[in-house]
Amino acid sequence: MKQATINKILMYSLITVCAVWLIIPFTMAVLWSLVDPVEPWTADKLLPPVMSTYRWAYMWENSSLRPALFNSYVLAPSAAIVTLLLASPTAYALGRIQFPGREVAKLITLLPLVVPGFVTAIFFSSIIFQLGLHAWRFGAILFAHSVILMPYAIRIMTVSFEQVRQDHIDAARDLGATTIERWKVAYMPALKPGIMAALLIVFIQSIEEFAIAFIVGSPSFVTVPTLLFSTLGQDFVRPNAAVLALILIVPNVIMMLILERLLKSANPSLSSGKG
Amino acid sequence: MSTIDIDRLEMRFGNFTALKDISVSVKEGEFVTLLGPSGCGKTTLLKLISGFLKPTNGTIKIANEDVTLTPPEHRDTALCFQSYALFPHLTIKDNIEFGLKQKRVNGSERKQRLQDMAGQLALDAQLDKLPNQLSGGQQQRVALGRALIMRPGVILFDEPLSNLDAKLRDSVRVEIRRIQQENNLTAVYVTHDQSEALAMSDRVMVLNGGVIEQVAPPETLYNAPSTSFVADFIGGANIMNAEVTGETEPGVWALQTPIGEMVSKSDRTPAAKHIKVCWRPEAVKLVDSPVNSFTARVTERQFQGSYTDLFVDIGGNGYRLKTSDPGIYPGENINCSIEPSDLILLEAIQ
Amino acid sequence: MTAKKWITVLALLAPGVGLIAVMIGTVIYMAVAQSLGYYSLMGESEFSFEFWDKMLGRKAYYKSVRFSIYIGFFSALFSVALAYPLAIWLRKPFNGSLLIGAVLKAPLLVPGLVAAFLFINVISYNGILNQFMQWIGFWDAPHRLQNDRNGYGILVLQTWKNMPFALLLLTGAVQSISDDVLDAARDLGAGTMARFRKIIAPLTISSMQAALVIIFIGAVADFSFQVIAGPTNRQSLAQFMVFFKDSGRWHDAAVVGVTLMAVALIGSALLAFATRIILKGGRIK
């Protein structure tokens, strides 16, 4: 059999599998989110008997969805910016200065990825208790997110700094540019995609981060993932959970589409924080 | 030491025809070079012979066996890659032995062949190193050894010298030819470098735009190119349009050319009334002669050491001459002549 | 290096690497210290092996260690085993390969909790999978698939979520092998399996190790998949730890936490080591 034929067969079967894998679960979620409480969706019916956006309105009015959305969407961009600010000096040092121990420093940046999230969460909360800082949960979670998501930002920014070309800097100097102009001319063009990628990745990871938000935030500080988790818990109402699940996934899809565009030319493994 | 017989081979990629109507045979122990500019199809032909591509039409036989559809791992060919393609994670020893292990050659024979090969290529001291610890020339020899140790029926080279510096290139060129002759290997060698082709080959096959222009021994290719492409690609030539006005005596043709009436002595019969003809810059004699003489005005001079390039104007057209006389300068008029046998008849004008 | 340069470098590193080292270092220190009786939030703090002693006497502890290792190991194994052939298949672009790549990597976009919800939705007692199996006549009655005893549900979920990540790492590694090297192996007589075992696998070993280790650490410390879709009679280490913490037993939680870190660390090292042995040591001659 020809390679092209094999590819075709493999491709169609794979697309079928993936359609089943992606389309069915999501269709089910959408359908469930549209089930009207007037009549339940029983196993004998292919589609919900009565469909409405009642659940969406209900969740909006009567659950912690609004504070959760507010918290998540204040937390994530703040974490993204704080992480980038904290990561950039280190990335500059790792990317542009030769010093003994650089490899060790690079390894240390990976620590947050190696220590399991729940261990970090629990003992971070323990430290906060010891220090008596547990009152300001937003600040605590913001700080923790910034630290545990820093490996991604450092990795991406280090590569960006490495890509700044010394001859551009030298040319700018040679032509009499001041320090600020040099940054504008030689550094920023090379750093821009990295900055965007770092912000987006930290944003997405912070939006969906569960362990720290759950351990440090509970019970009073709710984010979308912790709300979804509690909805999936003892008082599990499937249509309500469907609404939350869909809300949680929307920003990811939008952000990832932007990210894909940004990283198209770059190496995919850059964004994984491993090197 | 196998023969290769290629019969009416055609290779199309979508709408693009990479090779058209290629028929050629290679004898046992012969060294044939595929020469041509980039994109002429020479690498495609090599990939067809080695089995990485399947032709659209036509057949390939190796040692009289049809291998047109045989995958490369089951062909009795060994390929030396332009990039060397050494396995970066294996030592030199493991690289060279790789093919023998695939063929399940037993340990003692493997060891024997490895020793022979390492000795022949002066790699004894490098066997435990990794490829990236070797110089370019050494890596080249490993690639050669890895192919040769298989004792393949056919050895194929894909521009093996293009990554070496000029000095090394000459010595490796000599070495490849020596090993090929000593082992009586049938070899097909791809290059775009005409001097490499002339120096190494028993026969050269010039490809252009997917078709064969000429297959001939180097001397014939130089002295009697059959097309203007070959004439120009090999050694450079002054090419003119000519009209055949008659045959003055057997094998001697009268021609009307832009530089006057000329005669050409040739075994070939002109392909048409209007043909192309050529003469080599170095074939010109700076003396008057009863036939084929003309006056040229020197427009430019480039001293090259052992010879001097002259750019001349004859009747408003520019030509090139090569002379051993460094004392001719722009502005001078010189009398020149060409032996009738040095005026070569080429293809018809389309 | 001059002292001035050192100060510059250290100042640059402080907010990034420095902060990470301090915070994660403190977290690890706190976990170890609390497991040994220090930093008690109530009562007195003093050094003791009491909590370790008691924990090592609990059957539930061993069960939980075993269960977490089981989930971690098989999640990593399945994800990588599935990703490898796909990465090799997608090495060279062909018509539709971009689409396939995108579809395969789509689960990367789906947050873990959403994935868990989608999954239990499909496998629930009256869910579409049970309906389908009955409709084709494979099953007579709906099966109880959620919270299955062997944690198969979690393994499916983990693989679904992590395979794309392994695919991402492996695709990059496989694509960086040059065509010439693979062609050379073929030319020298290596068939498909030999090319994989002798060329592709050894050349992509570090990406494979990275994928295995990262997926293993993530899955071994899983909490949410286990709570939502896992067996009710087992507890993962993370779940066990949260259970102790919620009942205010910080020292017990710390013992489990230190265990979890040790399991993650030792397990990763063993996985990486085993990969190397299998690929490089096995049947070389």
Q: pLDDT (tens digit, 9 = 90+) per residue, B5-26?
A: 999 999 999 889 999 999 999 9
Using one digit for the tens of pLDDT, what is the confidence trace for A201-246? Answer: 898 889 889 999 999 887 788 998 898 888 887 677 888 888 888 8
pLDDT over 90, % of chain B = 64
Is the per-residue pLDDT at A271 higher than 50? no
Residue of C nearest to B95 (CA): C185
CB-closest option in B73, B88, B103 to C186? B73
**How close does chain B come to C177, measured CA to CA in Å?**
10
**Confidence at residue A1, expressed as pLDDT on a 0 to 100 scale:** 53
Res. A267: pLDDT tops 60: no
- Nearest CA to CA, how far is B157 from chain C (Å)? 12
Highest mean pLDDT: which range of A152-166, A252-266, C43-57:
A152-166
Q: Has residue B44 got a pLDDT over 90?
A: yes
Residue-level pLDDT at C110: 85
In chain A, where the domains are located: 64-272
Contact present, B146 and B98 (Cβ < 8 Å) = yes
Least reliable range by pLDDT among A132-136, B344-348, C257-261: A132-136
CATH of domain C58-281: 1.10.3720.10
Contact call for C261 and A116, based on CB within 8 A: yes
Closest CA to C150 of C90, C70, C221: C70
Q: Which of C190, C202, C203 sits opposite B102 (nearest CB)?
A: C190
Long-range CB pairs of C33-37 (<8 Å, 24+ gap) are C33/C254, C34/A123, C34/A126, C34/C250, C34/C251, C34/C253, C34/C254, C35/C251, C35/C254, C35/C255, C35/C257, C35/C258, C37/C251
Check CB contact of C26 with chain A, cutoff 8 Å. Answer: yes
Set out the domains of chain B in order of their start, with CATH numbers. 4-228 (3.40.50.300), 237-348 (2.40.50.100)
pLDDT of B33: 95
Task: Closest CB to C202: pick one of B75, B81, B89.
Answer: B89
Percent of chain C with pLDDT over 90: 40
C-beta atoms surrounding C83 within 10 Å: 26
Residue C72 banded pLDDT, cuts 50, 70, 90: very high
Least reliable range by pLDDT among A241-250, B125-134, B142-151, C80-89: A241-250
* A77 part of contact set with chain C, CB < 8 Å: no
A17: contact with C, CB 8 A cutoff: no
Least confident of A211-225, A257-271, B256-270, C139-153: A257-271
Contact assignment for C187 to B82 by CB distance below 8 Å: no
The CATH homologous superfamily for domain A64-272 is MetI-like (1.10.3720.10)
C138 vs C235, higher pLDDT? C235
C94–chain B Cβ distance below 8 A for any pair: no
In A201-220, the residues whose Cβ lies within 8 Å of chain C are 207-208, 210-211, 215
pLDDT digits (tens, 9 = 90+) for A174-204: 888 888 888 888 888 888 888 988 998 898 8
What tens digit of pLDDT does each residue of B127-144 get? Answer: 999 999 998 889 988 998
Task: Specify the residue for token string 């000096």.
Answer: A89
Of the given ranges (B90-99, C19-28, C222-231), which has the lowest mean pLDDT? Answer: C222-231
The shortest C-alpha distance from A98 to chain C (Å) reads 10
What pLDDT shows up at residue C14? 92
pLDDT tens digits, one per residue of B178-188: 889 988 899 99
Q: With cut-offs at 50, 70 and 90, classify the pLDDT of residue A272.
A: very low
CB contact under 8 Å between C118 and A245, yes or no, is yes
Over 60: is that where the pLDDT of C47 sits?
Answer: yes
Query: Which structure tokens are listed for C198?
Result: 């002798």
User: What pLDDT does B267 receive?
Assistant: 86
Q: Is C7 on the interface with A (CB under 8 A)?
A: no
The pLDDT, as a whole number, for residue A263 is: 61
Query: If you compute the radius of gyration of chain A from its CA atoms, what whole number of angstroms results?
Result: 23
Instruction: Give C72's contacts (C-beta < 8 A, 6+ positions apart).
Output: C216, C217, C219, C220, C221, C222, C263, C264, C267
CB C171 within 8 A of CB C82: no
- Contact of C215 with chain A, judged by CB distance below 8 Å, is answered with no
The mean pLDDT value of chain A amounts to 83
pLDDT over 70 percentage in chain C = 97
pLDDT of residue C141: 76
ipTM: 0.83
Looking at the partner chain, which of C181, C187, C194 has a beta carbon nearest the beta carbon of B87? Answer: C181
Q: Choosing among B44, B90, B98, which should be mutated to test the C contact, i.e. which has the most C CBs within 10 A?
A: B98
pLDDT reading at A275 higher than 50: no
pLDDT of A6 above 90: no
Read off the pLDDT of each residue in B99-108 and give the average, rounded to a whole number: 90
**A17-21, A271-275, B233-237, C133-137: which has the minimum mean pLDDT?**
A271-275
Q: Which residue has the tokens 């020149």?
A: B336
Those of residues 188-247 in C touching chain B at CB distance below 8 A are 188-191, 194, 198-199, 202-203
- β-sheet bridge partners, residue B249: B252
In this structure, of A158-172, B56-70, C61-75, the range with the lowest mean pLDDT score is A158-172
Closest-CA distance of chain B to residue C276, Å: 13
What does the pLDDT read at residue C57? 84
Length of chain C: 285
Inter-chain touch A248–C100, beta carbons under 8 Å: no
Over range A98-122, report the average pLDDT.
90
Question: Which residue(s) pair with C110 in the sheet?
Answer: none
Query: Is C109's pLDDT higher than 70?
Result: yes
In this model, does residue A95 exceed pLDDT 50? yes
pLDDT, position B319 = 93
Output the pLDDT for position A2.
Answer: 65
CB contact under 8 A, C241 and A215: no
* CB contact C39 to A (< 8 Å): yes
- % of residues, chain A, pLDDT over 70: 92
The nearest alpha carbon in chain C to B74 belongs to C189
Whether the per-residue pLDDT at A270 is higher than 50: the answer is no
User: For chain C, which residues make up each domain, given as ranges?
Assistant: 58-281
pLDDT at A262: 66
Q: Are B277 and B292 in contact (CB under 8 A)?
A: no
Distance between CA atoms of A98 and C9, rounded to whole angstroms?
10
φ, ψ (nearest 5 deg) of residue B278: -145, 160
Largest CA distance in chain B: 75
Per-residue model confidence (pLDDT) at position B208: 93
Between B27 and C148, whose confidence is greater? B27
Q: Which of C178, C188, C191 sits opposite B98 (nearest CB)?
A: C188
Whether the CB of C259 is below 8 Å from some CB of chain A: the reply is no
What average pLDDT does this structure show over B232-238? 89
- What stretches of A34-110 show up as alpha helix (H) in DSSP? 54-62, 65-96, 102-109
Mean pLDDT for B198-222 is 93
What is the per-residue pLDDT for C281? Answer: 55
Residues whose CB falls within 8 Å of the CB of residue C238, separated by 6 or more in sequence, listed in order: A116, A118, C68, C221, C222, C223, C226, C260
Smallest CA–CA separation between C272 and chain B, in Å?
Answer: 18
Q: Is C282 at the interface with chain A, CB within 8 A?
A: no
Question: For A153-178, what is the mean pLDDT?
Answer: 87
Averaged over B104-128, what is the pLDDT? 90
Report pLDDT digits (tens) over C217-272. Answer: 999 998 988 888 888 888 899 999 999 988 888 889 999 999 999 999 999 999 99
Residues 6+ apart with CB under 8 A from A170: none
Give the best residue of A94, A97, A106, A115 to mutate against chain C (max C CB count within 10 A): A115
Alpha carbon distance, N-terminus to C-terminus of chain C? 48
Query: A227: Cβ–Cβ under 8 A, 6 or more apart, which residues?
Result: A63, A64, A65, A68, A244
Pick C11 or A7 by higher pLDDT. C11
